[in-house]
Amino acid sequence: MKRLLTLLLVIAMMATLVTGCGSKDEPAAEGDAGALKIGVLIYKYDDTYISTVRQALEAEGSADGDVELIMNDGQGDQAKQNDQLDILIEKKVDALIVNIVDIGAAKSAIEKAEEAGIPVVFFNREPDEDVLKAYDKVRFVGTKPEEAGIIQGEMMAEVWKEGGYDRNGDDVLQYVMLKGDADNPEAIARTEYSIKTLNDNGVKTEELGLQVANWDTDKAYAAVEAWLGKDGEKIEFVVANNDGMASGAISALQNAGYNSGDDDKYIPVFGVDATEEAVNLIGKGEMTGTVKQDGAGMAKAVFALAKNAAQGKDFLEGLSYEYDETEVSVRIPYQAFK
């Protein structure tokens, strides 16, 4: 009987120990749940430049054990992104990072975030200043829209003045323009300022064609293919708002016998973003120049501002970034690459 009682006592003590170990695991689980949750809305994962920002942003999150990033691919569909936003708000995330599909939808997104008391950091695709300022917990991280166009124009002026590209000898640069989006501020500014800068540098220009190709490689290919069929002997430069469209343009040019290593059949092509593909094309002499948009730098700034906001701090507390004249936007500088 004594042995039986001893055995029962040992079993009871072991059960107590197991229960005790289980209760010790609970705080650890609560600690994980207590990590800052930041919802991330990306307009389209397969956009060449945005994918570099997304990957850098994910790397920032992986390196920070205090933050959980909840990633979402809008797939270029604003209705889908609206649903994703609603779900993140229901999950009571601590902050939102938004790369909006349609800039016109930013106002509604901000109103939803404000109602839930959630701070927001927009990036890359810039809402109007008055829309950003409608809620005091909203900031924007991006570039100066006109800066890429200015740098692109300066590169083009330099190449034109080197000589050899005035195919008809009229001292006028005939070009075709691939525009990213009809209403996007970046696309509008890059289109305008690239040519304005050329003109300011004393280069006369003539536009042979302009196509809104929605930042898309295939649409750019189709546009350039059509232009070559119509004005193939007149086109002297191809100007693209991004490297994805520049790549499409180069494929169309190469199919027509241009930009394949023969200096006599070379049409300069300029893009924006300095993607890996563009850098390789420039290295092979098939593309002329691009404008580097620092994806990793943008991701670092976006993550830092969002983490501060998620903690209830001022967006810029302890950071080296500064606002521009709007007092709500942080700008990441561009650089020429050729």
Residues 123 and 180 in one domain: no
Distances 266 to 194, 250, 262 between C-alpha atoms, Å: 21, 10, 7
Secondary structure (DSSP) of 67-122 = EEEEEEE-TT-HHHHHHHHHHHHHTT-SEEEE--SSGGGHHHHHHHHHHHT--EEE
pLDDT at 252: 98
Residue 29 lies in a domain: no
Looking only at the bridges linking them, the beta strands covering 173-179 and 205-212 are parallel
Q: Are residues 50 and 156 in the same domain?
A: no
**Which among 179, 124, 133, 149 is positioned nearest to 294, based on CA atoms?**
124
Residues 216 and 307 in one domain: no
Is 9 contained in some domain?
Answer: no
Which pLDDT score is estimated for 26?
30
Q: Is residue 153 domain-shared with residue 90, that is, in the same domain?
A: no
According to the model, what pLDDT value does residue 33 have? Answer: 58
SS3 category, 22: helix
- Indicate which CATH number applies to the domain containing 304: 3.40.50.2300
Q: Say how many C-beta atoms besides its own lie within 10 A of residue 285's C-beta.
A: 12
117 in the same domain as 165: no
Q: Which domain holds residue 40?
A: 34-142+295-333
The pLDDT, as a whole number, for residue 34 is 74
**Residue 139: closest CA among 12, 320, 251, 303:** 303
Residue 128 lies in a domain: yes
The pLDDT of residue 264: 76
Instruction: Give the separation between CA 227 and CA 211, rounded to whole angstroms.
Output: 10
The answer to whether residues 266 and 195 belong to one domain is yes
Residue 200 counted as domain residue: yes
Residue 52 placed within a domain: yes
For the chain, which ranges sit under pLDDT 50? 1-2, 4-5, 7-32
In a domain, 95, yes or no: yes
Cα angle 92, 93, 99 (rounded to 5 degrees) comes to 130
The reply to whether 222 and 258 lie within a common domain is: yes
> How far is the C-alpha of 252 from the C-alpha of 224, rounded, in Å?
6
Does one domain contain both 257 and 317? no
Q: Which residues pair with 336 in a beta bridge?
A: 291
299: in domain: yes
State residue 19's pLDDT score.
36
pLDDT for res 307: 98
Q: pLDDT digit string (tens) for 96-113?
A: 999 999 999 999 999 999
Which pLDDT belongs to residue 29? 32
Do 151 and 227 have their domain in common? yes
| Same domain membership, residue 164 and residue 243 | yes
User: 114 with 200, same domain?
Assistant: no
Q: Which two tokens stand for residue 238?
A: 């191809």
Q: What is the pLDDT of residue 48?
A: 86
Has residue 20 been placed in a domain? no
Q: Indicate whether 284 and 303 sit together in one domain.
A: no
Name the domain count of the chain. 2
